[in-house]
Amino acid sequence: MPGARAGSGFEIVSREDFSDVTYLLQVHHPLMAKAARPGQFVIVMSHEYGERIPLTIADFDRNEGTITLVVQAVGKTTREMQQSSKAGTSLYSLAGPLGVPSRIGQAKKAVCVGGGLGVAPIFPQARAFKESGAYVIGIVGFRTKDLVFWEAKFRACCDEFIICTDDGSVGIKGLVTEGIRRTIEKHPDIDEVVAIGPPIMMKACAETTRPHKIRTVVSLNPVMVDGTGMCGGCRVKVGGQVRFACVDGPDFDGHQVDFDDLMTRQRRFTKEEKAALERWSESCRMKNPAAPDSPPSPSPAPFSNNSSNGLPELPDPFEEVEGG
Amino acid sequence: MAKKKTIRTIPQERTPMREQGPGERVRNFGEVACGYRLEEALREADRCLLCPDPACVEGCPVSINIPGFIRKISEKDFRGAYDVISAANFLPAICGRVCPQESQCEGVCPVGETLEPVAIGRLERWVGDLAITEGWANIPYIESNGFRIGIVGSGPAGMACAADMAKAGCEVTVYEAFHQPGGVLRYGIPDFRLPNEVIDAEVERLRRLGVKFECNTVVGRLFTIEQMVDEMGYSAVFIGTGAGYPKLMGIPGDSLNGVLSANELLTRCNLMHAREFPAYDTPLPIGRRIAVIGAGNTAMDAMRVCLRLGAEKVHCLYRRTKAECPARAEEIHHAEQEGIEFHWLANPVEVLDDGKGNVRGMRCIRNELGAPDGSGRRSPVPVTGSEFEFATDMVVFAIGTNANPVIGQTSKLRLDKRGYLEVDATLATSMAGVFAGGDIVTGAATVIEAMGAGRRAARAMKAYLGIRDADVADFTTPAGSAAKLFGIDLRERNFARIRIA
């Protein structure tokens, strides 16, 4: 094995499950904890045969020397990690922090919006705004009450905190855009909105703020390979120009981003993603015919309740817009 | 030595190298060119006239003593041949495969004036491969000098620089952003041209010299160049990060699904093993009728990779003609053999959408050749009214790269207008103790040019640190003795301090 760190890897020191699809990994990497800034991301390979996936850094602790990743199990790699990445195990590769750090400017009043997989990465931004002395309004969206996480963490750094749920089981019933609308009504002096989540949710946020001409920053997370500007797979159209999310971003002006183009490009590998997931689910079944305890607790494995054709439901990450 | 060889007495025909047949090889990733056997190598070595004033050495960017190692082959002192090569080039198995010899050593070989030139590259490869199978590695006795050298990028420039600095006694650490070392050798050049095992062997040899490789390290982001010379305590730093920011054409439709850069295609296939999907997780859906834009070595690699991944037909569109195309002669030849169809003087102006965000074809335009441009080649001029449609379901751009912005974004190093690092004649950057070479300075070039730059930077770093060894003395005139007096570098005759910092 030629990998320089092969065998050692990057140790996962703790793990927490927020729901049956969302889990948190705290990874030991003192140098990265020191270097990380809000808005940056990492590229992770869970094992030698794995693919390189971009994950936003949800938090970093310079004293403990750890970075925190919050992962949503949507495809083969993230579901496999859900099973295999436990405290004490290691990630094969972890490169970062990547991307240009978010510009935490002179905003006096900032709104931080997180939907779905964007809830965790919006947290360091909210905290950074707070530390810079801004009045921070946090808005997060979930499908339902049971999926809510980090409420206390957000409340600690937000002057106002709004939860939106699709079913109204907690907070506002509706999408995060509803939360933004109400916030704009209440606060005419918002300097900046930062929105992180699935493309369709960020698009909706940008459209909500556009008539009010509020600076709106979105964090894009397209398919990447290297994350260092080398492959161009993550190119996005911003203001009619081609930019690479990995080195020119990931933050861009939400009013300039061509979201339709982004969403089309995110479907590049739909067929292969589905095939990989099916094959993997099949191999899991073969390994554990009974499979009562193989999925990590507390989450029931997504494939154990599969549909009649014997295949798992593949959630389309862009339709599944919790809180979007 | 026996009777003096002349152009009449040497074997007239260049010894051919056995190759996998085109029909067979397009179905596998095994090496196309199989390398010489012993008797073939001896026969080819016999074709060298052993010129006393060899032009080939001048033609070699790292000045390998070419007649010297060929003589050793003829004398059946193969270990000796390896010793001669490895004095100048630590990576013969790689260079023998990927150097554009026809425009370097072989291009100036006097035998080539009447016959075909001596197959220097093939002989170098033969020696390099033998060294790998025999486990030879010239690990000199190294006395540590206490200097610590940081190298950014584990590609050919970084590896060459690392070898020289380690041999000089420095403690060398090479940082690599990917999870495996090798840089472009690993992600860019496909297995059928340069097998991964060869890279592994050469990396291993560097490790035995004491070079440390740190993967998963994105310098600039994890720590900066300034931090390396400052708090991390590196005595000198070499930056060899490569060009790597692929160019796109900026034409309508170039963000459609099915349009990708050659860099992405090759990285997915080579580094990430997409060809073994789903055993490896990285996918690379391949079209049936593929158009590759560009005709450099990267384009040739991309096309031949597509064939091996199962494309039915692969087309190459180039805006100039075959005469201007920058690829290595052997690569074009191999591509033609494998059934790649070339369309010279054609360029896309739009990629067409199938209505679902996928490629269904391109609108192209025909060119004619006009006046020579800055590169000295005749420039392509579009012919009005010559537009035509070209059916394709996958478009790969292999039209070059721009400077990678990461180092520029994260350091105060001075950049030139195009975003590449600015260096002086000794490859020193605007920051004391920081040197740079390879594609991040010159823009996209070749493996051996990057290695040459790595070695030149190593010489400059040694001079900067005040390390005296044979290489430093050679600094100004690589071949000659004019700069030396009794083995002492002329620049060292005074009492001026060599080490500035």
Q: Does the beta carbon of A94 lie under 8 angstroms from any beta carbon of chain B?
A: yes
Q: In chain A, what are the domain boundaries?
A: 10-98, 109-266
| CA distance linking residue A153 with residue A145, whole number of Å | 16
Which structure tokens are listed for B323? 């005469």
Can you tell me whether residue B164 is helix, strand or coil?
helix
Task: For residue range A170-210, list pLDDT tens digits in order.
Answer: 888 889 888 898 888 888 898 999 999 999 999 999 999 99
Distance from the B228 Cα atom to the nearest Cα atom in chain A, whole angstroms: 13
| CA distance linking residue A251 with residue A217, whole number of Å | 6
DSSP B267: I
Chain A residues close to B404, C-beta within 8 Å? 228-230, 247
Beta carbons of B333 and B327 less than 8 angstroms apart: no
How close are the terminal C-alpha atoms of chain B, in Å?
A: 51
Chain B residues close to A269, C-beta within 8 Å? 283, 285
Per-residue model confidence (pLDDT) at position B435 = 94
Phi, psi of B353 (to 5 degrees): -90, 140
| CA distance linking residue A222 with residue B68, whole number of Å | 53
Chain A residues close to B281, C-beta within 8 Å? 49-51, 76-77, 276
Residue from B207, B221, B257, B269 whose CB has the most chain A CBs within 10 Å, to mutate: B221
Per-residue model confidence (pLDDT) at position B452 = 86
Q: Does the beta carbon of A239 lie under 8 angstroms from any beta carbon of chain B?
A: no
Chain B residues close to A265, C-beta within 8 Å? 255, 257, 357
Distance from the B181 Cα atom to the nearest Cα atom in chain A, whole angstroms: 7
DSSP B268: I
Residue A84 has pLDDT above 70, yes or no: yes
Q: Do A93 and B357 touch (CB under 8 A)?
A: no
In chain B, % of residues over pLDDT 70: 93
Q: Which residue has the higher pLDDT, B396 or A322?
A: B396
Phi, psi of B136 (to 5 degrees): -75, 140
Pairing between β-strand A251-253 and β-strand A241-244 as defined by DSSP bridges: unpaired
Domain range B148-244+403-465, CATH architecture: 3-Layer(bba) Sandwich (3.50)
Q: Do B255 and A268 touch (CB under 8 A)?
A: no
Task: For residue range A114-147, list pLDDT tens digits in order.
Answer: 988 889 889 999 999 999 999 999 999 998 888 8
Can you tell me whether residue B241 is helix, strand or coil?
coil
Among candidates B246, B256, B272 on the partner chain, residue whose Cβ is nearest the Cβ of A232: B246
Chain B from 165 to 204: CB within 8 A of any A CB: 176-182, 187, 196, 199-200, 203
Per-residue model confidence (pLDDT) at position B3 = 63
Among candidates B221, B256, B278 on the partner chain, residue whose Cβ is nearest the Cβ of A96: B221
Residue A290 has pLDDT above 70, yes or no: no
Per-residue model confidence (pLDDT) at position A218 = 94
Q: For chains A and B, what is the number of CB pairs under 8 angstroms?
A: 149
Q: Does the beta carbon of A103 lie under 8 angstroms from any beta carbon of chain B?
A: no
DSSP B118: P
Calculate mean pLDDT across residues A64-82: 89
Residue A300 has pLDDT above 70, yes or no: no
Residue A295 has pLDDT above 80, yes or no: no
Q: Does the beta carbon of B215 lie under 8 angstroms from any beta carbon of chain A?
A: yes
Task: Give pTM, 2 decimals.
Answer: 0.84
- Which chain B residue shows the shortest CA-CA distance from A265? B257
What is the band of B32 on the pLDDT scale with cuts at 50, 70, 90?
A: confident
Per-residue model confidence (pLDDT) at position B470 = 54
| CA distance linking residue A46 with residue A27, whole number of Å | 12
Per-residue model confidence (pLDDT) at position B315 = 94
Chain B residues close to A51, C-beta within 8 Å? 272, 280-283
Beta carbons of B20 and B31 less than 8 angstroms apart: yes
What's the one-letter identity of residue B128? G
Q: CA torsion A272→A273→A276→A280, rounded to 10°?
A: -170
B42-to-B69, B77, B86, B135 alpha-carbon distances in Å = 12, 11, 20, 21
Residue B143 has pLDDT above 50, yes or no: yes
Task: For residue range B179-201, list pLDDT tens digits in order.
Answer: 999 999 999 889 888 888 889 98
Query: Is the bond leading into B195 cis (omega within 30 degrees of zero)?
Result: no
| CA distance linking residue B64 with residue B47, whole number of Å | 18
Per-residue model confidence (pLDDT) at position A288 = 65
What is the band of A87 on the pLDDT scale with cuts at 50, 70, 90?
A: confident
Among candidates B218, B264, B405 on the partner chain, residue whose Cβ is nearest the Cβ of A232: B264
Residue A3 has pLDDT above 50, yes or no: no
Beta carbons of A155 and A177 less than 8 angstroms apart: no
Angle at B476 between CA B452 and CA B499, to 5 degrees: 95
Q: Does the beta carbon of A242 lie under 8 angstroms from any beta carbon of chain B?
A: yes
- Beta partners for residue A197, in sequence order: none
Can you point out the beta strands (E) in A87-203? 90-91, 93-98, 109-115, 135-142, 160-165, 172-173, 192-196
Chain B residues close to A233, C-beta within 8 Å? 260-261, 264
Among candidates B200, B216, B255 on the partner chain, residue whose Cβ is nearest the Cβ of A237: B255
Residue from B159, B218, B241, B411 whose CB has the most chain A CBs within 10 Å, to mutate: B218
Is the CA virtual torsion B185, B187, B188, B192 positive or negative?
positive
Residue B95 has pLDDT above 60, yes or no: yes
The CATH number of the domain covering residues in A10-98: 2.40.30.10
Q: Do B261 and A232 touch (CB under 8 A)?
A: yes
Per-residue model confidence (pLDDT) at position A221 = 85
Distance from the A131 Cα atom to the nearest Cα atom in chain B, whole angstroms: 22
Q: Which of A320-324, B5-9, B86-90, B494-498 has the lowest mean pLDDT?
A: A320-324
Please list, residue by residue across B123-152, b when 16 or more beta carbons sit within 10 angstroms of its beta carbon and e when fewer do: bbbbbbbbbbeeebbbeeeeeebebbbbbb
- How many other CB atoms are found less than 10 A from the CB of residue B360? 17
Chain A residues close to B182, C-beta within 8 Å? 2
B22-to-B36, B37, B98, B303 alpha-carbon distances in Å = 18, 21, 19, 14
Q: CA torsion A178→A181→A184→A185, rounded to 10°?
A: -110
Place of tokens 């003395």: B473
> Among A276, A43, A80, A93, which Cα is nearest to B283's?
A276
| CA distance linking residue A106 with residue A113, whole number of Å | 18
Per-residue model confidence (pLDDT) at position A11 = 93
Among candidates B222, B273, B285 on the partner chain, residue whose Cβ is nearest the Cβ of A35: B222
Beta carbons of B441 and B407 less than 8 angstroms apart: no
Burial class, B496, CB count within 10 angstroms (exposed 0-12 / middle 13-18 / buried 19+):
exposed
| CA distance linking residue A226 with residue A245, whole number of Å | 12
- Which chain A residue shows the shortest CA-CA distance from B410? A100
Q: Average pLDDT, whole number, for chain B?
A: 87
Task: For residue range A19-28, list pLDDT tens digits in order.
Answer: 888 899 999 9
Task: For residue range B218-248, list pLDDT tens digits in order.
Answer: 999 999 999 999 999 999 999 999 877 899 8
Q: Does the beta carbon of A143 lie under 8 angstroms from any beta carbon of chain B?
A: no
Distance from the A170 Cα atom to the nearest Cα atom in chain B, whole angstroms: 38
Q: Which residue has the higher pLDDT, A315 or B255?
A: B255
Residue A298 has pLDDT above 50, yes or no: no
Residue B317 has pLDDT above 90, yes or no: yes
> Residues spanned by CATH 1.10.1060.10 within chain B?
18-134
Per-residue model confidence (pLDDT) at position A8 = 67
Q: Does the beta carbon of A286 lie under 8 angstroms from any beta carbon of chain B?
A: no
Beta carbons of A251 and A218 less than 8 angstroms apart: yes
Calculate mean pLDDT across residues B403-428: 90
Distance from the B62 Cα atom to the nearest Cα atom in chain A, whole angstroms: 26
Chain B residues close to A271, C-beta within 8 Å? 285
Q: Do B409 and A4 touch (CB under 8 A)?
A: no
> Residues spanned by CATH 3.50.50.60 within chain B?
148-244+403-465, 280-400
Q: Which of A109-113, A261-265, B444-448 has the lowest mean pLDDT?
A: B444-448
Per-residue model confidence (pLDDT) at position B140 = 74
Per-residue model confidence (pLDDT) at position A292 = 44
| Secondary structure string (H, E, C) spanning B184-195 | HHHHCCCCCCCC
Per-residue model confidence (pLDDT) at position A284 = 78
Calculate mean pLDDT across residues B289-307: 92
| CA distance linking residue A55 with residue A152, whole number of Å | 23
Residue B294 has pLDDT above 50, yes or no: yes
Per-residue model confidence (pLDDT) at position B2 = 54
Per-residue model confidence (pLDDT) at position A303 = 37
The CATH number of the domain covering residues in A109-266: 3.40.50.80
Q: Do A264 and B261 touch (CB under 8 A)?
A: no
Q: Which of A213-222, A238-247, B86-95, B356-365 has the lowest mean pLDDT?
A: B86-95
Q: Does the beta carbon of B432 lie under 8 angstroms from any beta carbon of chain A?
A: no
* Superfamily in which the B18-134 domain is placed by CATH: Alpha-helical ferredoxin (1.10.1060.10)
Q: Does the beta carbon of B101 lie under 8 angstroms from any beta carbon of chain A?
A: no
Count Cα atoms within 13 angstroms, Cβ side, for A39. 25
Calculate mean pLDDT across residues B325-350: 90
| CA distance linking residue A107 with residue B43, whole number of Å | 76
| Secondary structure string (H, E, C) spanning A281-301 | HHHHHHHCCCCCCCCCCCCCC
DSSP A86: -
Q: Does the beta carbon of A291 lie under 8 angstroms from any beta carbon of chain B?
A: no
Q: Does the beta carbon of A269 lie under 8 angstroms from any beta carbon of chain B?
A: yes
Angle at A272 between CA A269 and CA A278, to 5 degrees: 135
Per-residue model confidence (pLDDT) at position B26 = 85
Residue A322 has pLDDT above 60, yes or no: no
The CATH number of the domain covering residues in B280-400: 3.50.50.60
Beta carbons of B300 and B335 less than 8 angstroms apart: yes
Task: For residue range B455-499, list pLDDT tens digits in order.
Answer: 889 989 999 998 876 554 343 333 334 444 444 444 444 454 444
Query: Is the bond leading into A97 cis (omega within 30 degrees of zero)?
Result: yes
In chain A, % of residues over pLDDT 90: 43
Distance from the A139 Cα atom to the nearest Cα atom in chain B, whole angstroms: 30
Q: Does the beta carbon of B48 lie under 8 angstroms from any beta carbon of chain A?
A: no
> Among B314, B312, B273, B308, which Cα is nearest to B396's?
B314
Calculate mean pLDDT across residues B122-142: 87
Distance from the B67 Cα atom to the nearest Cα atom in chain A, whole angstroms: 34
Residue from A41, A230, A278 whose CB has the most chain B CBs within 10 Å, to mutate: A230
Can you tell me whether residue A155 is helix, strand or coil?
helix
